[in-house]
Structure 1
Amino acid sequence: MKPSASELLLLRSLWQKEELSARELHEMVAGELGWSPSSTRKTLDRMVAKGLVSRRDLHGINVYQASAEKLPTIAAMTRDFVENVLGLKAPLPVSTFSGSDLLSDDELRELEALLAKDDDA
C-alpha cells in the first residue's frame, strides 16, 4: 500500500530510528507537519490498520516499527513518480538518490537492482 506524504514522513523516521514511541515520532515530525500529538497518534493508528507500521507495548508505552520495507517502498514510489508525474517509462538513475541521509551505498545498489528488475517485468 502506498503511503501518503505524511505517512511517508513517519515511515522515514522509523526507517532511521527503527523503533519509536508516538511522542518521539511526533517530536521528530512536528516542525514539518505542524500537527498536534493527537493527529500523529491518529495517523499512526491508520498506518497500523494499513499494515505500514506495527505497534507493541514496551513498559506501558506504545512503540512503533516500520512494517513497510524501505527499499521496496522507495522503488514503488519512484516508479509511480517517474511514470505518472514525469511520463517516463524508464527509471530515474540511482545517482539521483546519492547524498541521501536515508540510503547507504549498499542500499543504493539494492534500489538500483529493484528498479531495474521492475522495469524489466
Structure 2
Amino acid sequence: MSVSTPSVTELSLLKALWKDHPLSARELHARVEDELGWSFSSTRKTLERMLDKGMLLQRSVHGVLVYEANVDKVATLAAFAHDFGRRVMEIDSPLPVSMFTGSKLVDQQELAALEQLLQDWPLAGKA
C-alpha cells in the first residue's frame, strides 16, 4: 500500500484526529486555529480535499458531520519523515528513530513500528 505524504496543514488536522476522534469541523478548527491561523472556511476546504484523497472518513452523529482519520498514523509519519529527509535534508539513508523520542504523538509501541518502517523504507520503495 502506498502512503501519500500529507501537506503540513493536512498533517495538523490528522494529528488532532489521531489524538481525539471523531471530531466535527468546528471542533477540528478550534484545535488547529492557533497553529494554522486560518479561517473556518479554510478548515472546511482542507477537510473536503482530505476526504477526496481518502485521508478521512466522514459520518453523521446526531445530525452533525464528524471526521476520523482514514490513514495509519505510524505509516503516515514514516512517509512524512522520509519525505522530509529526502527532499529537505537530502538524506538517502533511513532517518534515526531517535528524532521522535520524546514525541507526544507516538507511544513506545508506535515508536518501535515507526523505527521498523523507517529502516525498511528503501526496500519498500523498490517493491
TM-score (norm 2): 0.90
1:5 maps to a residue whose letter is: V
Equivalence for 2:22: 19
Equivalence for 1:60: 63
Equivalence for 1:36: 39
1:70 alignment partner, one of 68, 73, 79: 73
Contact kept in structure 1, 2:56 and 2:70, CA below 8 Å: yes
Q: Cα RMSD over matched residues?
A: 1.1
Equivalence for 1:79: 82
* Distance in 2 between residues matched to 1:86 and 1:38, nearest whole Å: 33
Structure 2: give runs of 5+ residues left out of the alignment. none
- How many residues align structurally? 121
Deviation at 1:119, TM superposition (A): 2.8
Structure 1: give runs of 5+ residues left out of the alignment. none
- Single out whichever of 52-61 and 31-40 deviates more from structure 2: 31-40
* Distance in 2 between residues matched to 1:87 and 1:61, nearest whole Å: 44
2:30 maps to a residue whose letter is: E
* Distance in 2 between residues matched to 1:116 and 1:14, nearest whole Å: 26
* Distance in 2 between residues matched to 1:69 and 1:42, nearest whole Å: 22
